[in-house]
């Protein structure tokens, strides 16, 4: 099976830098894949993307050096399996609130006897290779999102779940859950402390820790703190700020 670049980087102690795609389009996915990211995530939760568009995006990412991964809309086994069958080499699962949910998430990604994944790897075989079935359980990366009060309360137990590679902090939802609003780069002490608690718990359990960041400078800081999976903003936010800057720049002389 084709190597999972995320695992290879982690084995070397490196931090993975992932693009985050909210626009459902295979051309955008292809551009992101050639832009120097270690992996590219298709966001099925909040992105304007459905399953069929996701498949085209994963095909586009497959033609680039980046590893294709998917954030599913929820801990829903059929969708998780569909994303894996479509060739995702990693799954980020939002709103993991309990050990039970973390275990259900992991089970959906593993074939029996370890898990409950149904057989039908489709594009997994094309992108991964003919021996996909033999190696998929070991190769696929699973990150459960901590972004609720329940998730925070069960943090240590979730981090201990067998087969979960690590956690991924959603700072916006976590900020909301803590009553602090959506803070991209939380300076609030409660949110800051909660984020660092997630990092410490993951490390204490020998797991990986990821986080969504509002910019590359915050992502670099997070990675220096010990996060080993960082997302420096989404493509839609980057496009929006570039468009705004160009529109206002083009008017700057007349104004």
- The residues that touch ligand 3PY, with contacts defined as CB under 6 A, are 147, 170-173, 212
Which does residue 25 touch among Mg ion, ligand 3PY, none (CB within 5 to 8 A, set by kind)? none
- Size, binding site for Mg ion by CB under 5 A: 3
- Report the candidate in 238, 218, 226, 210 with the shortest Cα–Cα distance to residue 18: 210
Q: Toward ligand 3PY, which CB reaches closer, 1 or 174?
A: 174
**147 contributes a contact to Mg ion by CB under 5 A:** yes
Give 234's contacts (C-beta < 8 A, 6+ positions apart).
20, 21, 22, 43
The tally of CA atoms less than 13 A away on the side-chain side of residue 42 is: 37
What's the closest the beta carbon of residue 173 comes to Mg ion, in angstroms? Answer: 4
* Residue 56 vs 166, nearer CB to Mg ion: 166
Please state, in angstroms and rounded to a whole number, the distance separating the CA atoms of residues 94 and 145: 5
- Site track for Mg ion across 151-190, x = CB under 5 A: -------------------x--x-----------------
Supply the minimum distance, in Å, between the C-beta of residue 12 and ligand 3PY.
Answer: 26
**Nearer to ligand 3PY by C-beta: 103 or 173?**
173
**Rounded distance, CA 79 to CA 5, Å?**
23
42's tokens = 């298709």
Residue whose CB is less far from ligand 3PY, 116 or 150: 150
Whether 205 is a known active-site residue: answer no
User: Would you mind telling me the total number of residues written for the chain in this entry?
Assistant: 255
Q: How many other β-carbons are positioned within 10 Å of the β-carbon of residue 149?
A: 14
Task: Pick one of Mg ion, ligand 3PY, none as the site partner of residue 43 (Cβ within 5 to 8 A by kind).
Answer: none
* Contact of 213 with 219, CB cutoff 8 Å: yes
Of 168, 167, 194, 200, the C-alpha closest to 180 is 194
Give the one entry of Mg ion, ligand 3PY, none that residue 165 binds, where binding means its C-beta sits below a cut-off of 5 to 8 angstroms depending on kind.
none
Residues at the interface with Mg ion (CB under 5 A): 147, 170, 173
**Residues carrying an active site annotation:** 46
């Amino acid at each position: 099976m084709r190597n999972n670049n995320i695992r290879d980087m982690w084995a070397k102690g490196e931090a993975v830098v992932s693009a985050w795609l909210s626009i459902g389009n295979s051309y955008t996915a292809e551009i992101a894949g050639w832009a120097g990211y270690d992996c590219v995530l298709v966001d099925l939760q909040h992105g304007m993307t459905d399953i069929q568009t996701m498949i085209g995006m994963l095909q586009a990412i497959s033609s680039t050096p980046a590893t294709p991964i998917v954030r599913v809309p929820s801990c829903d086994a059929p969708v998780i399996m569909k994303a894996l069958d479509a060739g995702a080499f990693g799954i980020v699962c939002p709103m993991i609130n309990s050990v039970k949910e973390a275990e259900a998430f992991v089970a959906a990604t593993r074939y029996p006897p370890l898990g409950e994944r149904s057989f039908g790897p489709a594009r997994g075989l094309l992108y991964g290779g003919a021996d996909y079935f033999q190696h998929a359980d070991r190769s696929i990366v699973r990150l459960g999102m901590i972004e609720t009060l329940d998730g925070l309360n069960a943090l240590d137990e979730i981090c201990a779940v067998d087969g979960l590679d690590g956690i991924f902090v959603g700072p916006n939802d976590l900020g909301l859950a803590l009553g602090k609003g959506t803070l991209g780069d939380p300076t609030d002490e409660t949110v800051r402390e909660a984020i660092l608690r997630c990092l410490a718990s993951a490390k204490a359990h020998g797991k990986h820790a990821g986080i969504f960041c509002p910019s590359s400078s915050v992502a670099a800081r997070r990675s220096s703190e010990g996060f080993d999976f960082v997302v420096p903003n989404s493509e839609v936010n980057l496009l929006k700020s570039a468009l705004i800057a160009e529109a206002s720049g083009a008017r700057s002389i007349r104004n």
